[in-house]
Amino acid sequence: MSSLTSPSSTVVLGTCHHDCPDSCGWEVTVENGVAVKMRGNAQHPYSQGELCPKVNRFLDRVYSPDRILYPLIRTGAKGTGEFRQATWDEALRLVALNIHEVGRTFGGEAIMPWGSAGTQGLIQMNALDRRFFAKVGASRQVDSLCGATAMVGSTLTLGSPLANDPMDIEFAQLILLWGTNTRLANRHLWPFIEKARANGAKVVVIDPLRTITAEAADVFIQPLPGTDVALMLALMHILIRDELLDVDYITQYTEGFEELKEQVSTWTPARAAEICGITVEVIESLAHDYGTIKRAFIRTLIGAEHREHGVMFFRTLTCLPMLTGAWRHKGGGFSRSVGSYAATNIDDSVFDIPSLNAGKECRSLSMNHLGRVLNDATLAPPVKMLFVYNGNPLVTAPNAELIRRGLEREDLFTVVSEQFMTDTAKYADVIFPACTQIEQLDVVPSWGHLYLGWNHQAIQPLGESVANTELWRRLSAACGFTEPELFEDDESLLVSALHDLDVERLKADAFIRLSLPVDLSPYANGGFETASGKALLINHGLPAVGLPALPTYLAGSEMSSDSSGQAEYPLALMSPKTHVRFINASYSHLPHHVNPEGEMFCELDPVDALDRGISDGDRVRVFNGRGELDVVARVAANGGRVRPGLVIVPFGWVGDRTKDNKTVNALTNDLLATFGGGVSFYDTKVQVEKN
């Protein structure tokens, strides 16, 4: 709700839209139509008045002199970033002409949308775009860069992706932060962890990289990358061997315990220690803590899903609370995402209008295989027109140099909706100017807490920028479409999708808790969404889709010791988010965010650096069969931050801020996960040489 504080000053409440679990509440102070201050909303139950370092300077982004504020039409070669300003009418006519021409010549499926999570807003992320592309008959985008693999993996055990409220972590006595850098990427959860710690909780971090979260842990366990499932199987072995079980919970609420017991009987701590590169003593200690401390809370996020067998990580991890009955206890259980709970009060199926595509089932194209799709000479029809919005695939998607080759095609007409001249936008034929969050209306569901956020429009759009919903309305009109559903206004879209909520209260406070029990303990008394109502320690349906029925350790094909590229590319590459000031690619082009971080780097263990004659500060070449990078080496004098055999090149840099205009995704693996629609960023092997 907007509250007038003076005749010319207004405070407008909103919600951060970024692809982040925290979905923070904010306040924007507007004077004479200009946003002059942004701060956190102190009343928000989760973010509690704090914003992260990137959003603290959000107004610098809004008023940046580099904003794209008018439609642009390409004048130079693709990739040069040479454009001229155009009117909306001219740009719309050009795009509409190409839509109709491509449709007539190749069919609607030759048009491909590529939209990501540049905004997580309910209508600005996915609403009228779904209707527009259905009307056009375009190919359907499937899969996801993040989220789907973890959701599916959890569902294979639990029957649904639903799990604990992350805020209940404050009641835990043992907290396992597994593969998540909470203090950086989920920073507003950390105060709840500190509450638990003040009450005696032990915090254990399990991660291949010694992160800032690991530095703050009571115990840090550093397995080799991709070996987590072996550790989980050994923990189960010890829990069963030493009878650290809740037999009643297992008997009442699980199926397949005897088969699981047999499966893990050979997964001794010694076997797992050799695979994981940690000691038997560490594994034994962790297992005994987990088996004896009843309020044990496992928290993970998306990092571990970025593997060929990422689904197995979540499938296996969710079995652990079954054995100890941790689900029974407030402050015990498991949490990854709570986004699926939003279905309680959101029905986004209202954005799909089947009549718009006359019932035609259009082909599916993976957003994770954009490079392959754009370069596939056998694809029929080929992709001749690409729409990119809410994302920057040349930076955020894997195998980026293959994407670049596709974007360079002269026979591909590319339309981009953007706020800045991104790596991808430089290859566009037409760019439409997009609003920032304070210039548009939306509702933001969270996947890190149980509150919906209303985002009031604080200022009028700068220049001629428009919200995504308005872009699709204008494109529909330019194409001559007349169906009313293509022109529905924003508030109507929101109200039609929300149900069983006090919408007026949501507007007034800018947040409201989902209609869920105050004490959300989803599996305290079973209630798993499976055919039997029990958790599936064994899942008999999995062999039919190519997965083992029981949790199993699997090495990714590129990471396997018998991989054909092992000798040529012996080092494992990870590309985590490590920069406090920008975290991802949405801010690393802005001077205040990127300049203090120096330049893009490659981090090696001293052992690997010595073997290659590399010293701290040297320029090095990081390369594999997909691409190469020219970066500076970082080598910690005493080691310990990365393991030998592991290389870190952080995610988030954009091409303009690197020496060779390339980012880490020039190297990453675009192999799809075995199940779940994810992609294997972290199953990547490289070599490093001194320049």
Rounded to whole angstroms, the Cα distance separating 377 from 155 reads 37
What pLDDT, on a 0 to 100 scale, did the predictor assign at position 92?
98
What pLDDT, on a 0 to 100 scale, did the predictor assign at position 5?
52
Q: Which residue has the tokens 């439409």?
A: 432
Q: Are 117 and 132 found together in one domain?
A: yes
Q: Residue 626 pLDDT > 50, yes or no?
A: yes
Share of residues in the chain with pLDDT > 70 (%): 98
For the residues 657-663, what does the mean pLDDT come to? 90
Give the list of residues 6+ apart from residue 65 with CB closer than 8 angstroms, or none.
Answer: none
pLDDT band at 560 (very low <50, low <70, confident <90, very high): low
- Out of 310, 336, 362, pick the residue that ends a domain: 336
Q: Are 108 and 203 found together in one domain?
A: no
Q: Residue 528 pLDDT > 90, yes or no?
A: yes
Q: Residue 660 pLDDT > 60, yes or no?
A: yes
Rounded alpha-carbon distances, angstroms, from residue 190 to 47, 219, 297: 10, 16, 14
Rounded alpha-carbon distances, angstroms, from residue 213 to 56, 170, 221, 606, 609: 21, 17, 12, 22, 25
**Which has more confidence, 285 or 581?**
285
Give the list of residues 6+ apart from residue 23 with CB closer than 8 angstroms, or none.
Answer: 15, 16, 46, 47, 120, 444, 445, 446, 447, 448, 449, 451, 453
3, β-bridge pairs: 11
Q: Are 359 and 319 found together in one domain?
A: no
pLDDT tens for 566-583 read 679 999 999 998 888 777
Residue 64 lies in a domain: no
End-to-end CA distance of the chain: 57
What pLDDT, on a 0 to 100 scale, did the predictor assign at position 566?
61
pLDDT band at 15 (very low <50, low <70, confident <90, very high): very high
What pLDDT, on a 0 to 100 scale, did the predictor assign at position 685?
96
Task: Please check whether residue 385 is in contact with residue 415, taking contact to mean a CB–CB distance below 8 angstroms.
Answer: yes
Q: Residue 322 pLDDT > 80, yes or no?
A: yes
Task: Please check whether residue 640 is in contact with residue 606, taking contact to mean a CB–CB distance below 8 angstroms.
Answer: no
CATH of the domain at 590: 2.40.40.20
Residue 342 lies in a domain: no
Residue 306 lies in a domain: yes
CATH of the domain at 280: 3.40.228.10
pLDDT band at 544 (very low <50, low <70, confident <90, very high): very high
pLDDT tens for 130-172 read 999 999 999 999 999 998 899 999 999 999 999 999 999 999 9
- The strand order across the sheet containing 511-513 reads 442-444, 451-455, 511-513
Q: Across all residues in the chain, what is the average pLDDT?
A: 94
Which of 327-341, 407-421, 626-640 comes out lowest in average pLDDT? 626-640
Task: Please count the other Cβ atoms lying within 10 Å of the Cβ belonging to residue 398.
Answer: 28
What pLDDT, on a 0 to 100 scale, did the predictor assign at position 656?
85
Q: Are 123 and 266 found together in one domain?
A: no
Task: Please check whether residue 26 is in contact with residue 511, taking contact to mean a CB–CB distance below 8 angstroms.
Answer: no
Q: Residue 2 pLDDT > 50, yes or no?
A: no
Rounded alpha-carbon distances, angstroms, from residue 518 to 521, 522, 544: 9, 11, 39
Rounded to whole angstroms, the Cα distance separating 35 from 64 reads 13
Residue 427 lies in a domain: yes
pLDDT tens for 122-131 read 999 999 999 9
- The strand order across the sheet containing 25-31 reads 3-6, 9-15, 25-31, 34-40
Q: Which residue has the tokens 């491509």?
A: 102
pLDDT tens for 165-208 read 999 999 999 999 999 999 999 999 999 999 999 999 999 999 99
Q: Residue 260 pLDDT > 80, yes or no?
A: yes
Residue 651 lies in a domain: yes
Containing structural domain, residue 235? 148-336
Instruction: Tell the burial category of 462 from Cβ atoms under 10 Å away from its Cβ (0-12, 13-18, 19+).
Output: middle
- Out of 312, 336, 360, pick the residue that ends a domain: 336
- What's the structural domain count of the chain? 3
What pLDDT, on a 0 to 100 scale, did the predictor assign at position 675?
82
Q: Residue 563 pLDDT > 90, yes or no?
A: no
Q: Are 134 and 152 found together in one domain?
A: no
What pLDDT, on a 0 to 100 scale, did the predictor assign at position 7?
62
Task: Please check whether residue 453 is in contact with residue 106, taking contact to mean a CB–CB distance below 8 angstroms.
Answer: no
- Out of 336, 367, 389, pick the residue that ends a domain: 336
Which of 23-37, 291-305, 476-490, 640-654 comes out lowest in average pLDDT? 640-654
What pLDDT, on a 0 to 100 scale, did the predictor assign at position 3?
47
Rounded to whole angstroms, the Cα distance separating 324 from 588 reads 44
Residue type, 338: V
Residue 421 lies in a domain: yes
Rounded alpha-carbon distances, angstroms, from residue 566 to 84, 276, 304, 561: 48, 18, 22, 7
Q: Are 116 and 160 found together in one domain?
A: no
- The radius of gyration computed from the CA coordinates of the chain, to the nearest angstrom, equals 25
Q: Residue 101 pLDDT > 90, yes or no?
A: yes
Q: Are 161 and 308 found together in one domain?
A: yes
3-state secondary structure 308-376: CCHHHHHHHHCCHHHHHCHHHCCCCEEECCCHHHHHHCECHHHHCCHHHHCCCCCCEEEHHHHHHHHCC
Residue type, 662: K
* Furthest CA-CA distance within the chain: 74
Residue 577 lies in a domain: yes
DSSP code for 672 = B
Q: What is the pTM of this model?
A: 0.95
CATH of the domain at 82: 3.40.50.740
Q: Which of 551, 542, 144, 524 is nearest to 334 (CA)?
A: 524
Q: Are 206 and 282 found together in one domain?
A: yes
pLDDT band at 6 (very low <50, low <70, confident <90, very high): low
Q: Are 180 and 327 found together in one domain?
A: yes
Q: Are 279 and 397 found together in one domain?
A: no
Report the half-sphere exposure of 282 (CA within 13 A, side-chain side): 17
For the residues 79-108, what does the mean pLDDT come to? 98
Q: Are 434 and 575 found together in one domain?
A: no
Residue 22 lies in a domain: no
Q: Are 221 and 297 found together in one domain?
A: yes
Q: Which of 262, 211, 255, 220 is nearest to 237 (CA)?
A: 262
The token pair at 573 is: 């590459």
Q: What is the DSSP secondary-structure string of 576-626? A: ----TTTSSTTTTTSHHHHGGG-S-EEEE-HHHHHHTT--TT-EEEEE-SS
Rounded to whole angstroms, the Cα distance separating 19 from 478 reads 31
Rounded to whole angstroms, the Cα distance separating 68 from 465 reads 8
pLDDT band at 639 (very low <50, low <70, confident <90, very high): confident
